[in-house]
Amino acid sequence: MASVRQIARRIRSVENTAKITKAMAMIAASKLRRSQDAATQGRSYSENMAAMVSNVVSQTNEDESHQPLLETRVVSNVGILIVAPDRGLTGGLNANILRAVSDFIDTQTAPVKVVAIGKKGLDFARRNGLEIIAEYTGIGDRPTPTDTLPIGEAVINAFSNAEVDSFHTAYAQFVNTTLQRPVVQPLLPVSPSETSANSVGYIFEPNAGEVLGRLLPRYVETLIHHAVLEGNASEQSARMVAMNQATDNANEMVDDLTLLMNKLRQETITTELLDIVGGVAALES
């Protein structure tokens, strides 16, 4: 059994760990509000952008406007954009994202190529021997469109040059503080929406080809930027919850160790008293 001194040393170590985890939880909480607002406010824009582009594509004739990002080809290579954190200490967030990516890969019959955002996604691709088209790390806690613009260019170039025949995006969708849902969504080629009698008609000026030539790259860049925002909000939320739980567990461990130390100290004192009483009794006899 450990001595009182060893238990006391362990208590101090756990208390120091609790201070660190509490500080990390407070830092994550201070970043969460900003990242949460960015993700939720950009979600409406991203969804409307996707719906509008699908409607426009559904009402254009391929003969009028040939766009590389609209080509539906035989899938010989599949591309996936993995949006994952650079760091750990986020509970089960990283494992959930990578599990969703692994499940997606298992359903594919064609080779999978990866564009990795974050060290965790990059490490996953390397461990599984996947071909890496591009990698981006260190984007930070305040991603701007300028930060994600090169990612969109890499995805567009890979699809336009027929390196991949379809592209998907994997990221953690922020639902609330305690729930982040991993999703894998199609990105390219752009799928047209189902037209109906009530569909809004579009007039293209100067022509459909030029309009789509500018609109489709912006559509890809917008969806990628929003995925990064969702991933950032999910990361800060998961880290705050994980560090709060770690702090609570550390405090419980300190209480248990303190109780054990007090019992051991009391046992030592009782043993010493019994030795003294026994020695006195021996002298009197």
Q: Which CATH architecture has domain 21-242?
A: 3-Layer(aba) Sandwich (3.40)
Quote the CA–CA distance of 103 and 138 in Å, as a whole number: 26
How many whole angstroms from its chain centre is CA 239? 10
Please give the backbone phi and psi of residue 207, each rounded to the nearest 5 degrees, phi first.
-160, 165
**pLDDT of the residue at 40:** 84
* Least confident piece of the model among 28-32, 56-60, 177-181: 56-60
pLDDT at 35 (0 to 100): 86
Residue 282 makes CB contacts below 8 A (sequence gap 6+) with: none
What are the tens digits of pLDDT across the range 59-87? Answer: 776 655 577 778 888 888 899 999 998 88
Please give the residue that has the higher pLDDT: either 199 or 197. 199
pLDDT score of 82: 92
Q: pLDDT tens digits for 19-34?
A: 998 998 888 888 888 8
The tokens for 182 are: 């991993």
Q: Which pLDDT score is estimated for 63? A: 56
Percentage of the residues of the chain whose pLDDT score is greater than 70: 94
Record the tokens describing residue 119, joined without a space: 């060290």
Instruction: Tell me if residue 166 falls in helix, strand or coil.
Output: strand
E strand or H helix at 182: strand 179-188
Give φ, ψ of 181 to 5 degrees: -100, 120
| Bridge partner list, 184 | 170
Coil, strand or helix at 181? strand
pLDDT bin (cut points 50, 70, 90) of residue 196 is very low
Residue ranges of domains in the chain:
21-242
pTM of the model: 0.82
**107, 184 Cβ separation under 8 angstroms:** no
